[in-house]
């Protein structure tokens, strides 16, 4: 079993380089199945979710070769199957994009119901609604989703919820659908736009990504090509919060500052200085002596991202006064609360909100319950008095490349230890 230990109280200083976006990478890699050429994708994060996805694609006979740690060459011309086994993808959620990719190109897909972070039900009914609107027959049994179609025809699809996954999955499936597909109430997250940009670079005809209405005009075929994944908004936000919680002075580099606007506004409200660099690809976050409390409400992009909710709660636990954070995207994303309580946080769940009385934290033994809950524990541990030991490091490895060496380079007293089971 691996653990992370952190001796809190060190002020973070220096520069951290942000990797490519996990939630763009796990969409673009399967989307490359739509191409009949060779796709070279760079700025991929070296994280577990990418490795799992690549492993599943290799099992389908798709050529996946890393030319360096962050660059992947994908060749799906020799693909020999359309069915993914559960044990190949059970630890991640984004395997559902293989459904849209295989259905779109081959009109047949068999993919397990998704795994991944266990906060709430996280259904995929909207994905299925979109595929059926395009003409697919869906069958779900024994934990497997089978989608098949004689042909796919463009349709107008209204999403009851602006689901990121459903928006991207339908977009990928519709690339070859005859005629025009319109996705209304579409998600606008940066990774939705990035996936559309990738597909368009390969010859797709997608308009409106980043707005409420995305139109996909079916094409005959997609070429290969090269593409670079956008920086990770959530990794960047996690390090910005880490600087704030330690009263630090950290420059977060290789990012798109616009993607961070909602967090930058909140950190400024809490007394931080958030300064954009001249090259417009970095933000310097200087934390104050005393953090001010504030209210936060998670929303779909460009609102405050739900994936920074746990990390923000950890920060608010150190602010002066009472803060309220309301979670509007997932019905239950509060598993991290019981772990923060172990660190001495004064936090309680009220319906879909947490009420937080800021104060001091003391180190303890805690367990990550999901990816961003693990990040929240790192944030809290950095400013807790004494040593914190965090278990279930596997969650953090799903989404944060080399986080302990990045934090150590910023001055954190952090290490990873392995203990025999
Ligand atoms: C994506 O998950 C991200 N994962 C999540 O990031 C992120 O929290 C989420 O979007 C919201 O931004 C990936 O991109 C791989 P949704 P996704 O569909 O697509 C409901 C991380 O830490 N819903 O936008 O699964 C759903 O229950 C992860 O990087 C339906 O009801 O999220 C939720 O309440 C965690 N039916 C809401 O919509 C559906 O068919 C938003 O979910 C689909 C979703």
Summarised one tens digit per residue, pLDDT across range 65-107 is 999 999 999 999 999 989 988 888 887 888 999 999 999 999 9
Confidence at residue 308, expressed as pLDDT on a 0 to 100 scale: 98
pLDDT in tens, 143-191: 899 999 999 999 999 999 999 999 999 999 999 999 999 999 999 999 9
- What is the share, in percent, of the chain residues with pLDDT greater than 90? 92
Give the percent of the chain with pLDDT over 70: 99
Atom of ligand 1 nearest to the CA of 116: 35
Instruction: Tell me the whole-structure pTM to 2 decimals.
Output: 0.97
Cα distance between residue 130 and residue 94, in whole Å: 17
- Cα 271 from Cα 390, distance rounded (Å): 29
Q: How far is ligand 1, taken at its centre, from the CA of residue 362, in Å?
A: 33
- Rounded distance from Cα 122 to ligand 1 centre (Å): 7
Alpha carbon 157 to its chain's center: 24
Quick one: which atom of ligand 1 is closest to the CA of 22?
29
Residue 375 CA, distance from chain mean position: 12
Residue 182 near residue 133, CB atoms below 8 Å: no
Cis geometry, peptide bond prior to residue 302 (ω within 30 degrees of 0): yes
Order the strands of the 63-68 sheet from edge to edge.
63-68, 71-75, 38-42, 225-228
For position 59, what pLDDT does the model report? 93
Closest by alpha carbon to 98, among 90, 87, 107, 109? 109
Which residue is closest in CA terms to ligand 1's atom 19?
A: 165
CA–CA distance, 205 with 200 (Å, rounded to integer): 6
Could you give the dihedral angle defined by the CA atoms of residues 82, 88, 94 and 97, in that order, rounded to the nearest 10 degrees?
A: 0
Contact in structure between 315 and 293 (CB atoms under 8 Å)? no
Interval between CA 237 and ligand 1 midpoint (Å): 18
- Mutation choice for ligand 1 from 163, 190, 329, CB with most ligand atoms inside 8 A: 163
Q: Which residues are catalytic?
A: 117
Q: Which atom of ligand 1 is nearest to the CA of 93?
A: 15
- Average pLDDT across each block of 10 residues of the chain; the chain has 421 residues. List them in order: 96 98 98 97 97 95 97 95 86 90 96 75 91 97 94 98 98 98 98 98 98 98 97 98 98 98 98 98 98 98 98 98 97 94 98 97 97 98 98 95 98 94 74
Query: What are the φ and ψ backbone dihedral angles of 80, each rounded to 5 degrees?
Result: -130, 15
Residues lining ligand 1, CB < 6 A? 22-23, 26, 93-94, 117, 120, 122-127, 161, 163-166, 187, 189, 306-307, 329-330, 371-372, 399
């Amino acid at each position: 079993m691996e653990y992370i230990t952190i001796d809190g109280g060190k002020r973070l200083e220096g520069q951290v380089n942000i990797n490519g976006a996990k939630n763009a990478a796990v969409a673009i890699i399967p989307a490359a199945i739509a191409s009949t050429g060779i796709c070279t994708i760079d700025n991929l994060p070296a994280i577990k979710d990418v490795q799992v996805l690549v492993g599943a694609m290799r099992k389908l006979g798709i050529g996946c070769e890393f030319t360096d740690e962050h660059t992947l060459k994908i060749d799906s011309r020799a693909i020999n199957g359309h069915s993914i086994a559960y044990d190949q993808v059970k630890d991640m959620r984004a395997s559902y994009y293989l459904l849209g990719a295989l259905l779109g190109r081959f009109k047949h897909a068999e993919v397990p119901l998704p795994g991944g972070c266990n906060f709430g039900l996280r259904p995929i009914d909207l994905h299925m609604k979109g595929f059926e609107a395009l003409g697919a027959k869906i069958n779900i049994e024994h934990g497997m989703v089978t989608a098949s179609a004689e042909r796919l025809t463009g349709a107008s699809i209204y999403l009851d919820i602006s689901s990121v996954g459903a928006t991207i999955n339908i977009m990928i499936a519709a690339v070859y659908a005859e005629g025009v597909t319109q996705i209304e109430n579409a998600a606008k997250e940066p990774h939705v736009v990035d996936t559309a940009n990738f597909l368009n670079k390969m010859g797709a005809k997608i308009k409106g990504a980043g707005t409420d209405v995305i139109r996909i005009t079916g094409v005959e075929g997609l070429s290969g090509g090269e593409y670079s994944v956008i920086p990770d908004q959530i990794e960047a936000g996690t390090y910005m919060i880490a600087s704030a919680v330690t009263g630090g002075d950290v420059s977060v580099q290789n990012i798109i500052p616009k993607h961070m606007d909602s967090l930058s506004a909140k950190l400024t409200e809490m007394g931080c200085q958030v300064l954009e660099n001249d090259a417009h690809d970095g933000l310097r976050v200087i934390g104050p002596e005393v953090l001010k409390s504030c209210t936060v409400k998670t929303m779909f992009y460009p609102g405050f991202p739900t994936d920074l909710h746990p990390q923000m709660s950890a920060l608010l636990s150190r602010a002066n006064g009472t803060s309220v954070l309301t979670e509007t995207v997932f019905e239950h994303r509060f598993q991290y609360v019981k772990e923060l309580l172990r660190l001495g946080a004064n936090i309680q769940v009220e319906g879909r909100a947490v009420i937080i009385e800021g104060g001091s934290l003391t180190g303890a033994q805690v367990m990550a319950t999901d990816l961003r809950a693990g990040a929240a524990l790192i944030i809290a541990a950095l400013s807790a008095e004494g040593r914190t030991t965090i278990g279930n490091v596997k969650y953090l490895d799903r989404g944060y490349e080399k986080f302990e060496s990045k934090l150590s380079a910023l001055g954190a007293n952090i290490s990873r230890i392995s203990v025999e089971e």
